[in-house]
């Protein structure tokens, strides 16, 4: 097991109270007293962020996270169903584990599922996805130059702001980190 001083941002830890990912890692040597390592940790099971302090020589168990490509199949009462692209086995995730990624999942889409001890933790999406517009109010003619926006509804049910020229049936690129319209896809 590595010591707390050897860890880096982005690594995962298996602590007594759950599975965590290091968001921030700082080694501090105060003027008086012993050095310590302060970390901001994101709970991979619950999603909350906590701060922890460790001694530099304290051993911490690293968690090995395996990220596998899965194809999103469908959603039903049991949750969101995915298929592993290598083994073709299917698994379902509850809505709590999927979180905000559900706003961007369309059938047939490829997503990365971080796995720990054979169980999926969450859903990692690409930086942007292409979704079809299902509903949009018509733009006002002559007002297309001002940079005005209107609400549009995407195939997943997500409502975002887009330029006035976007119409139902268009395919748009959406940033999954911010939920903002990026461009029309061709």
CATH of the domain at 23: 2.30.30.30
Q: Are 29 and 71 part of one and the same domain? A: no
Other beta carbons less than 10 A from residue 174's beta carbon: 23
Same domain (yes/no): 35, 82? no
pLDDT at 94: 86
Residue 98: what pLDDT? 84
- Looking only at the bridges linking them, the beta strands covering 49-54 and 62-63 are unpaired
Dig out the tokens for 112 from the structure.
């990365």
More confident: 97 or 77:
77
**Residue 44 sits in the same domain as residue 72:** no
Bridge partner residues of 111 (DSSP) = 70
- Same-domain pairing of 77 and 50: no
Q: Which two tokens stand for residue 162?
A: 């887009």
Instruction: Verify that 70 and 58 share a domain, yes or no.
Output: no
CA dihedral for 74, 79, 80, 85, sign (positive or negative): negative
Pair 140, 173 in one domain: yes
Confidence of residue 9 (pLDDT cuts 50, 70, 90): confident
What pLDDT sits at residue 5? 82
Could you tell me the residue range of the domain that residue 144 belongs to?
Answer: 128-184
What pTM does this model have? 0.72
pLDDT, position 131: 93
55 and 8 together in one domain: yes
Domain containing residue 79: CATH number: 2.40.50.140
The region of weakest confidence among 29-33, 73-77, 150-154 is 29-33
Q: How many domains does the chain have?
A: 3
């Amino acid at each position: 097991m590595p010591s707390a001083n050897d860890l880096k941002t982005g690594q995962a830890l298996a602590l007594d109270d759950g599975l965590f990912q290091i968001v921030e890692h700082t080694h501090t040597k105060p003027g008086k007293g012993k050095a310590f390592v302060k970390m901001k940790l994101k709970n991979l099971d619950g999603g909350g962020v906590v701060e922890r302090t460790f001694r530099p020589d304290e051993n911490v168990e690293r968690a090995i996270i395996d990220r596998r490509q899965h194809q999103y199949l469908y959603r039903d009462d049991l949750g969101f169903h995915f298929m592993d692209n290598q083994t073709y086995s299917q698994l379902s995730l509850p809505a709590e584990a999927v979180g905000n990624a559900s706003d961007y999942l369309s059938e047939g889409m490829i997503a990365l599922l971080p796995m720990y001890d054979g169980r999926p933790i969450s859903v990692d999406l690409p930086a942007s996805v292409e979704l079809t517009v299902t509903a949009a109010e018509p733009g006002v003619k002559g007002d297309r130059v001002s940079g005005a926006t209107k609400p549009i509804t995407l195939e997943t049910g997500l409502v975002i702001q887009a330029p006035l020229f976007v119409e139902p049936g268009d395919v748009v690129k959406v940033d999954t980190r911010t939920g903002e319209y990026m461009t029309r896809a061709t």
